[in-house]
Each structure stands twice: as C-alpha cells, then as structure tokens.
DNA sequence: CCAGAAATTTAAAACGTTTGCAATTTTGCG
DNA sequence: CGCAAAATTGCAAACGTTTTAAATTTCTGG
C-alpha cells in the first residue's frame, strides 16, 4: 500500500523521452509526432498518471478552481439552498474541468477577509458571491482588484458594471399580485425582513409596480417587517398583521419560511387558508409542499441558476469579455392550494 | 485596478532581507531575531501579503485542502443534507486553517474516478467519503493507496480498519420500537429501500434486535422495500403495506421522506395519524415539522457530525494514528405528534 | 548524395515557496 | 582586544509542471 504518485519525470524516463515532449504530447500539441502522442497517452493511462495540480498552477497561473465563500449561518439553519447551489455549481464547472473551493469564515472573521485570502493566495481563478447586500464590500473589493467574479443577486444601483445572475423576484411578485387581484383581492399584506438585502427591495418594488400598473385606487397594501433569523419576532410581526380588525385578505411573504409562519399563525387564529386568507411565498422549499393546505409559491430553480453562474464565470475567466454578463431568471409559479378567491364579507 | 499580488521576493526586497529570512520570519522560526520577525510581520500585514498556495503546496507536499466528492444526485433532489454537511465540514476545517474542495463527477464518470483524480493530483491532503455502500470500492481504493480519509458511515463488516463516524441508527430504531411497544403496539411495519446502502441493514437490524430483546412472540414485523428515488414506486410500496386487511398499527420508515409518504398515503386512505396508525421517521428534515400532525423522528445533527469528521480527518492527516478513529453518534428523538397508543380494535 | 526545409525533440528557465547547509554577524569572556 | 560560540541571515536546491528558444533528426528535391 501507500502507492507513490507518478511524476512526469518518471513517466518520461520510462518512455525514454524528455519531460518536455511528454508534457506536450499529453497536452496534444500538433508538433509532437502522432505516433509519439499515442505512445505517451497509452503509457500515461496505464501508469495512471495525473498531473500535479500545484505544479501546474504555479507555472500556468491558473488553478482550475472557482471559489465560494460559505455564507456565515446561524446555528440551526436548515435549508436546501446551499446544497442545491453547490450541486449546480459543481455540475456547471465539471464540464469545463474546473472544481469548487469552499472557504469558511472562522469565528470572528468577516466573509470579506476570507474572500481576500482566497483571491490573493491564488487558490481560485474566479469566485462566486452570493447573498448580495444593499451595500456590499465584497463586490467593491473584487471590482478594485479586477478579479473575475459572478454575483448571485444584484446591487440596487451601481456606478460600475459587474457580472450577475439574479432571480426576477420583481416579476414574480407582480405576477402574484395580478393573480390575487383577479381573484378579487383588494387588501394586501407584505411580510418582509429588516436585513439589508437587495432582494427585499426588488420584490417589494415589483409588487408596488404591479399595483401602480393596475391603477385601482381601492387597492391597499400593508407591510410588516421582521428580523430575518428571529423566529419569535417573526411570529409577532405576522400577528401584528393578522390580528387587527381590518386584516388583509391576501398576504405575500418575502420567502417561504415567512409564508409558512403566516399559515401557522393563521391556523392558530382560526383563519382558514385559502378561505379567509390567501398566502403566497417565494422559493418553493420542500416544506411548502407539506404544510397544509400546500403553499403557493415561486420556484427559482437554484440548481439551474448555479449551473449558469458557473458557465458565466468560466466565460469571464477565459474570455474576459468587455461588457458585463448579466442574466435575469424568471421564477415559475408553483400553484398549490394556499390562494383562492377573496372572501365575500371582508371589511 | 487589477492590483498585482505581492510575492515573497518583492516583500523581501522592500525589507532588504533575503527571501529565506522573510519566509522564516513569517513562519515564526525562533532562529530569526525577534526584532526582525516583528518588522517582517508588520510589512507583510501592511502589504497584504498572502503566500501563494500552489508554491507552498508544491514544496511542502501539503495542500491544506480536504476533498469531498459530491454525491451524484437526481435532477430534482431537494434536501438539506449536503448544505448542512459542507457547512459543518467548513466549520471544522477552518479552525485548523484548512479548506474544502468539492469535486463533481461529470456525466458518465463514476465517483471513484473523480476520487482518484482528487487524490492523485495532490489537490487534497485527505478526503471525506459519504453514503457508504454495502460494497464500497472507494474505501478499498483509499485503503490500498494509504490515503487519509474518514468515512461518514460504515461498511457492514470489513477485513481492514478505517476511520469512520456514523449515526447510531440501530440504537434509534431500537428506541423507536421500545417506545411503540410500550404504547401497546404489537404489529409493526418497516418501510425500507432497495438501494444497497449499509445504513438500511444497521437500522433494520437495530429494530430486529430490539424485538428479540423484548422476547414477546406476539410481536410481528412486516417489511416493504421501495427503490430510493422512484416516487411512484415508493407510494405503491407504502400502499401494499397500508391496504391489506391486517395492516400494522405502527410503521417505522428508514428515513423521513418515506415516513412522509406513509403519512400522505394514510391520510388519503382515511387513516388518522396517530389515531389509527403511528409513524416514525429518521433524519428530522424540515418538512417533518410541517407535515400534519408533525412527524416523530430522530435528529442526527449532520452539521455537528460533519464538524467532528473534519476534526478526525485533520488528526489523521497530521498524526497518522496507528489505530483507526471511530465515532458512533446517538441521534436524539424528536417527539412530535405522529405516534401514539395502539388503537383498541385492531385486527 | 547533399543542402535546406520541415518535422520532431530537448535543454533550461521559470513559477513562489520551503529548507538544509553555509556564511556572516554579534555576543560573551578571558 | 581576540577568539570561540551563539545568534542571525543568506545561498541554492528542490517541489512538478509549462514554455521559450534551440538543437537534433528526418524528409524533400535537385
């Protein structure tokens, strides 16, 4: 056991060729005689030769890795986002022979410091940045450094261009409004978060824009805000909306976890969904299919998005396009049973 | 923009020292004068010097990376396992300054071939292997190669020792049986999978052992098997168990997805849970808390396990212990509302 | 058969670090 | 002050690959 790894030098010695020739033969250079190329390929395959990544990276300046700094997460955060995202990234990368590096921020260190380290240690040829905040120092850093990256999400407005892929939350929330309006709803609620993330604006603005487009002055929108990760506060915020005399007949939540809280609290208050209250979420997490009566929501196909992000990033790395690459992905409505006609006798 | 990354040579030139001295100073060697060490540290910090990973790896033979080959997953697999697992690995690794490499198998390539590539390209100092199959060629390969690894899961029996961490499913299933027995149940059902994974044996054996321990000849156990990823077949299998005249009063499922299917089909058949049927799962996925009436299950704290796996692997890499490291983690019962007393009038 | 061209192969440098060993400087002490 | 010992610093090789420029071999046509 403990088989040694074979090097180019050993492979070359066995073939009675120089390492130069073997290296070129394996790279498929035309200038090496075809016969030699085949002989080398055969020997390499048989010896199980795999080039050493570090050596190759050192000389070529390309590591073949793409970096992702893992978002710092609370102690009991359970969701499928990360798993789907890295699966998609992996799928997108592998077809181009690249792999993924996951870097974690140690306790007390910022995501930015980890990002710096990944970039400056030469571990990665490019990085993916997720969960874009309203003011995001990571993008500023990468931009200044001129390092290839693709953002999953957008800044609200930016004086510089950058590569991004985002889910069209604005469109989805407009679609939700239109659907609910057509079902007779006029009084709407939005449950959103206090965390300074761009997506909350994009989605809320999409909702507001759809309301404005409709131009019906009888439409009313109430908004409550909760901290993102505080379950108790979330419940309180939802009840602030549910328990007042003139509650909305339709509530749109910024994402499914919030919508599920709405459904739970509605049930606790004796409100029937969708009889008394329509609820629509966003993300289509697994639990949404199980929570009665089944949450109507939007699916953003994270895995597919991640795959496209990988493609974009590899393009950026290889071709350094002059214009930024951008993609806006329209989420698809998953119509389950939590929405329905507006109740007759509403205040 | 496009700031260049600084090298040791440049740093040394600025300090009017040799590369050797700067390298040693940064590594904290005692032989370098304290004053020099401080001067170098100061300059390095100010210049934002970060050592080049490839160069360091090349000379030291240590990459500071731990590899994980992403399990090949079906197109619409949604669960939190992978996210929790990589989060935990990251947390465990970062405290020792290591990072994670995720390698994906390209279409048509086996996990083993990717594993080989990771190992032999020198990208990683050790690897984590998940989802251990009854006969697992990956472990055999790593063993033969003498490459550091930790398995998440076990082989059923092995003629060689290796490092593993596993969830004690056998204990959990025994606990489930005992609890249900004490609630009066005598007729049990087990829904399991046909995929050749060791955990199905361990859990089933744990259940059987608990039954044997009890020594009550009136206890009866029925078993149905379904393919792991075929939803239709899974439903059929469950119904084979539910729809016969003498169905069990308590069903234990190999994992939560199966248990949720049992609950859905029970509801469709007009069976009340837990009034007519008790159901217990395993894994505590998010949906289990939302599916009415709330699934009783076991939580294996994947994230915590992954953190320990990272610790174990780093120990294996650094110390090469003579004896294999093994850890058996006892999952905790999450008692929700899907289990209860056996119904009075059962066939 | 030979010059020149074309085809094929190779020597050597380079990538940025660590490290064994040697060189230099400083210190201690008679 | 001088000399050995201790403390400090530096030279150069090495890690395994790619690549530039040059060397060698083979081919072509007169």
B87-125 residue pLDDT tens: 999 999 999 999 999 999 998 899 999 999 999 999 999
User: Chain centroid to CA A326: how far?
Assistant: 14
**pLDDT exceeds 50 at position B347:** no
What gap in Å lies between CA A297 and CA A278, rounded to an integer?
11
pLDDT tens per residue across span A119-136 = 999 999 999 999 999 999
Q: Give the chain B residue whose CA is nearest to the CA of A91.
A: B104
- SS3 state of residue A222: strand
The CA-CA-CA angle for residues A122, A125, A126, to 5°, reads 115
Q: Nearest CA of chain B to the CA of A176: how many Å? A: 23
Q: What are the distances in angstroms from CA B296 to CA A66, B254, B324?
A: 41, 13, 35
First to last CA, chain B: 78
The pLDDT score that the predictor gives to residue B2 is: 55
Contact assignment for B143 to A290 by CB distance below 8 Å: no
Q: Average of pLDDT values for A208-224? A: 97
**pLDDT exceeds 50 at position B333:** yes
The CA-CA-CA angle for residues A163, A165, A170, to 5°, reads 125
CB B132 within 8 A of CB B197: yes
Q: Tell if B15 CB is < 7 Å from nucleic strand C.
A: no
Contact assignment for A99 to B94 by CB distance below 8 Å: no
Q: Work out the burial of residue A154: count CB atoms within 10 Å of its CB; fewer than 13 is exposed, 13-18 middle, 19 or more buried.
A: buried
**Does pTM top 0.85 for this prediction?**
yes
For strand D, give the nucleotides within 7 A of a protein CB: 7-12, 14-21
**pLDDT exceeds 70 at position B228:** yes
What gap in Å lies between CA A81 and CA A62, rounded to an integer?
29
CB B305 within 8 A of CB B87: no
pLDDT tens per residue across span B282-329 = 999 999 999 999 999 999 999 999 999 999 999 999 999 999 999 999
Mean per-residue pLDDT of chain B: 95
Residue from A123, A336, A337 to probe the interface with B (highest B Cβ count within 10 Å): A123
**Encoded tokens for A149:** 């990256």
H helix count then E strand count, chain A: 13, 12
**Encoded tokens for A16:** 């009675």
Q: Which residues pair with A221 in a beta bridge?
A: A188
Chain B residues in contact with A48 by the CB 8 A cut-off are: 116, 120
Contact assignment for A87 to B70 by CB distance below 8 Å: yes
The DSSP string of A18-38 is: -HHHHHHHHHT-TTS-HHHHH
């Amino acid at each position: 056991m403990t088989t040694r790894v074979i090097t180019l030098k050993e492979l070359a010695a066995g073939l009675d060729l120089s390492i130069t020739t073997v290296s070129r033969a394996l790279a498929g250079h035309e200038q090496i005689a075809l016969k030699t190329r085949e002989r080398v390929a055969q020997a390499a395959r048989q010896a199980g030769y795999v080039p050493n990544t570090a050596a190759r990276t050192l000389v070529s300046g390309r590591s073949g890795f793409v970096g992702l700094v893992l978002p710092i997460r609370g102690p009991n955060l359970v969701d499928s986002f990360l798993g789907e995202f890295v699966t998609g990234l992996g799928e997108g990368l592998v077809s181009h022979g690249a792999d993924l590096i996951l870097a974690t921020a140690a306790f007390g260190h910022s995501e930015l410091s980890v990002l710096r380290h990944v970039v400056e240690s030469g571990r990665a040829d490019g990085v993916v940045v997720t969960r874009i905040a309203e003011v995001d120092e990571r993008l500023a850093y990468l931009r200044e450094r001129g390092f290839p990256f693709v953002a999953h999400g957008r800044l609200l407005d930016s004086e510089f261009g950058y590569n991004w892929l985002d889910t069209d939350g604005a469109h989805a929330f407009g679609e939700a409004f239109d659907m609910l309006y057509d079902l007779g709803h006029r009084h709407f609620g939005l449950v959103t978060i206090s965390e300074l993330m761009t997506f909350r604006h994009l989605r809320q603005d999409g909702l507001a824009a759809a309301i404005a487009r409709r131009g019906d002055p009888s439409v009313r929108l109430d908004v409550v805000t909760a901290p993102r990760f505080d379950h108790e506060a979330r419940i309180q915020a939802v009840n602030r909306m549910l328990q007042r005399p003139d509650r909305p007949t339709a509530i749109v939540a910024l994402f499914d976890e919030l919508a599920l809280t709405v459904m739970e609290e509605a049930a606790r208050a004796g409100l029937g969904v969708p009889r008394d209250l329509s609820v629509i979420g966003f993300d289509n997490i697994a639990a949404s299919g199980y929570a009665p009566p089944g949450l109507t929501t939007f699916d953003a196909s994270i895995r597919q998005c991640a795959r496209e992000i990988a493609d974009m990033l590899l393009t950026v790395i290889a071709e350094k396009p002059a214009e930024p690459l951008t993609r806006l992905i329209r989420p698809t409505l998953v119509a389950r049973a939590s929405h329905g006609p507006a109740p007759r006798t509403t205040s």
